[in-house]
């Protein structure tokens, strides 16, 4: 089972250039996301597997932590290093962190 990490862990990792994917649906992502998060809806993760880095940890965020854990477990099963952000984008916003509305694809 993939590891669950905190919003603070993500904040620290992003300052070091973490690779973050947001697995929410298009409309959720467009409503606001963590800056620099790469949009990859959960259903599209398997078909985008080849695009993901194999040499670094993949941080995954959704709205509250459920879909990101599903994605992280899937990626771990594929041999990638993946973690799920507990609390998701809701937690990020609740912690007073910045969000952006810019497309990142």
Bridge partner list, 20: 59
Task: Name the catalytic one among 37, 62, 75, 86.
Answer: 62
**35 neighbors 99 (Cβ within 8 angstroms):** yes
Question: Would residue 72 show up in a list of annotated catalytic residues for this protein?
Answer: no
- Number of residues assigned to the chain: 105
Report the distance separating Cα 72 and Cα 50, nearest Å. Answer: 15
Task: List residues with catalytic annotation.
Answer: 62
């Amino acid at each position: 089972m993939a590891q669950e990490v905190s919003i603070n862990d993500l904040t620290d990792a992003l300052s070091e250039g973490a690779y973050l994917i947001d697995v929410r649906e298009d409309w959720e992502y467009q409503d606001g996301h963590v800056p620099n998060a790469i949009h990859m809806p959960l259903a599209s993760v398997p078909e985008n597997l080849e695009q993901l880095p194999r040499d670094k940890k993949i941080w995954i965020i959704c709205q509250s932590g459920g879909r990101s854990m599903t994605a992280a477990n899937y990626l771990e099963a594929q041999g990638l290093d993946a973690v799920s952000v507990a609390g998701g984008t809701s937690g990020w916003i609740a912690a007073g962190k910045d969000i952006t509305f810019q497309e990142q694809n």
